Chains A and B, each alone.
Chain A
Amino acid sequence: MKKIMTGNEAFAYGAYLAGIDIAAAYPGTPSTEILENLSKYPGVYTEWSTNEKVAMDVGAGAAYAGGRALVTMKHVGMNVAADSLFYVSYTGMKGGLVIINADDPAMHSSQNEQDNRHYARFAKVPMLEPADSEEAKKSVKAALEISETFDTPVIIRTTTRLSHSLSIVETEAEPEPKAQSEPAAYERNPVKYVMVPAFARQRHPVVEERLKKLAAFAETTGLNRIEPGDDEIGIIVSGVVYQYAREVFPNATCLKLGMVYPLPDGLIRELAGRVKQVVVIEELDPFIEEHVRLMGIPARGKEIFPNIGEFNPGLIRRCAREAGLIPTPAEQAPAVTAPKLPGRPPMLCPGCGHRGLFYALQRLNATVFGDIGCYTLGAAPPLNAIHTTGCMGASIGVVHGVDRVGVKDRTVAVIGDSTFFHSGVAPLINLHYNNGTSTVIVVDNRVTAMTGHQANPGTGNTLMGIESPVVKIDELARGIGFTKVDVVNPYDFKHVLSTIKDHLQSNEPSLIVAQYPCVLYKRERKPALVVDAEKCNECGNCLRIGCSPITKIDGSVSINAALCIGCGFCAAICNQGAISLPDKEGVTA
């Protein structure tokens, strides 16, 4: 049967078919839906780990004990997990370990667009790269087989455009029920699994030998193939870019790589021998091109195609024409460019509790060291209330550093609940241990909201829908030794202002938990607010909170009833009392 699936749905389906026993991840666009979907299949244990490194360790442990493990993450998640990737590359495992890594060219939802193919070479592990959902499905089984044959973790690389595109997948027979033959067991083998220098030195040659065997495998595996064509141009390409290349170069000879590390030197030479010139088409870095050039083959790549951003068929066609690879039509239609129009950037949702906090910080003219999550939208106008954002968990260390060089004047760190659990605890301990004096605000909306409402240690349930203990952030801070800890409702504006002021004047490290459940998750809706145009003096306060239902009109403002969820924050900060609930006397009349 045929079914249309996203790349991520197909990865989950493939993992189920391949008999994955355990899967761990931290949510991150564009990888999140892999585990969300896998958690719906029977017989697989899935979890949201607190961060990607923890997930990688969980996967390694499960595979050490003979389980078949899957770990997924977005590209920057690999930076967090890298320490663990490197040791598990040396140790190998007993069961298979597959890592699905999602790169985000064009940074649809990321802070950088790093090319994680480098991690395969860096950690000396193989990497597969499927090109559509059907290949995504099959790639998990292929990766598991490689993992178990060569005793290595295997990375599958996807990109946003593969993970979030849909294409047709052939459904398969249900997998055989898992054999109950031998119970999971951890077999002690210190030389293989204890990476002290003496043993690690014994493992490194094993890893190098493994790479040679994998390079030989790359020549014969069905994952790589030469698609015959004319002898003018030979294309080397992988992933979703293969699909674009086939549209622009339908007749070219094409080395389609399903395995991008190690690369098949023999197939590359064969391709080069068949054609007049070799062209490598790859998003981001010249990873394949540099290898081909080192082989002494004068491949063209980044001189033609950019090393920034995401490709599409039109971009490849334009570049190919400019480089003379394909003819330019004599009569070209005049280029149509999109007109300059007002943008439509994402904003904090109507009713979002973060708005209350950021408005207070803006009013105090605080310098805010931010973090990664929905609340990063507090950086956007008109709030303009975040002044650095780097990576998960950076805020607390950054504010400590800023304060330590003597800047400390209305400086605060702002970090979300899930981000705090991910990588905020260690820097909070650091702040206390090193006698810091900074103020940390955890914006706690009770869920991992940005990636689509995943469970976390604060939500009281797990990915599999099982009830779990709730970690309380204020109690955690007190346990570390913080004595100045407050929990506030960010929409209690006066209280929030006075609490922040109090913390900013304090000379000890302090923590505020600004707690307000995500409105999209809670889905509570109250009647929309209304404006009394006569009372409005056009001061613009309500426009400065950046709430999309509020629109400037002639002489007043109006509130779009279809978008407003009735949180009442605009009414609370209106000095004229011009905004109120519709049932209040004198307003609806």
Chain B
Amino acid sequence: MKKKLDFLFAGVGGQGTILASNIVSDVGMRCGYDVKKSEVHGMSQRGGAVESHVRWAQKVYSPLIEEGGADFLLAFEMLEAARWPHYLAPGSVALVNNHRVMPPSVNLGREQYPEEKEIESVLTAAGGRVLWVEGAAKANELGNQALAGVVLLGVLSTRLEEPAETWLQAVQDLVPAKFKELNVKAFLAGRELATK
């Protein structure tokens, strides 16, 4: 068991950010960690940004990760990844879904969506290692864009010592029954991506 692990999730409403963070919380609990989670999601259904903090430790006090403390950033959308460099711990890993959702000001042609390189350098400068994940492509292959989050979890699981079975159990217990099989496929696809 690690002393502590902090996971920061970032995405856009409707991308399954909250579900993914629930799965990570559940895995932590199953593995005997104290777990806390916090999120801001009031406006998520209206296309706003969503952030969620998940913390594993022997004893967790704050439900919020401290700036500079996140061991993993799981970003479901590229621009949302770039908002959080100040939260990255030295040596942290940023798993970023290779997917863009244009914000309104970009739609209207008033602002520019940042380049992939810019996003990467912002995160790298903060001490994070960026791993681009073809989550959206994989999810589309499986027939549902909302699966990208679970693909990312598959990748994440290969970087942690908790057994794959525990992750699979959590995925199956937390996703809606009729999407169970698809989510398992997405999770395994993520694991496969990670080992390529």
Contacts and interface: CB of A to CB of B under 8 A. Distances in A.
A312 B80 CA distance: 20
Interface residues of A, number: 51
A377 interface: yes
Given A342-B113, A344-B48, A546-B104, A161 B36 contact: no
B47 interface: yes
**Interface residues of chain A: helix, strand, loop or mixed (majority):** loop
B189 interface: no
Contacts of A550: 107
A164 B49 contact: no
Contacts of A546: 104
Given A314-B66, A339-B85, A346-B46, A247 B122 contact: no
B106 interface: yes
A568 B43 CA distance: 24
Contact of B83 (A29, A240, A313, A341): A341
A571 interface: no
Contacts of A377: 46
Interface residues of B, number: 55
Contacts of B84: 338
B195 interface: no
Interface string A425-440: 0000000000000000
B34 A243 contact: no
Contact of B109 (A161, A374, A552): A552
Interface string B48-75: 1100000000001111101110000000
Highest count of chain A CB atoms <10 Å: which of B79, B80, B85, B103: B103
Nearest to A167: B36
Contacts of A161: 38, 63-64
Nearest to B108: A543
A548 B47 contact: yes
Given A2-B29, A339-B122, A551-B107, A346 B48 contact: yes
Contacts of A402: none
Interface in B88-135: 88, 90, 102-109, 111-114, 118, 122, 125-127
A364 interface: no
Contacts of A336: 68, 85-86, 88, 125-127
Interface in B15-53: 25-26, 29, 34-43, 45-49
A339 B103 contact: no
Given A312-B62, A346-B48, 7 more contacts: A30-B42, A165-B38, A244-B62, A335-B86, A336-B86, A338-B85, A345-B48
14 contacts: A4-B25, A243-B63, A333-B90, A336-B85, A336-B126, A337-B85, A338-B82, A338-B86, A339-B85, A341-B83, A343-B105, A344-B47, A381-B108, A550-B107
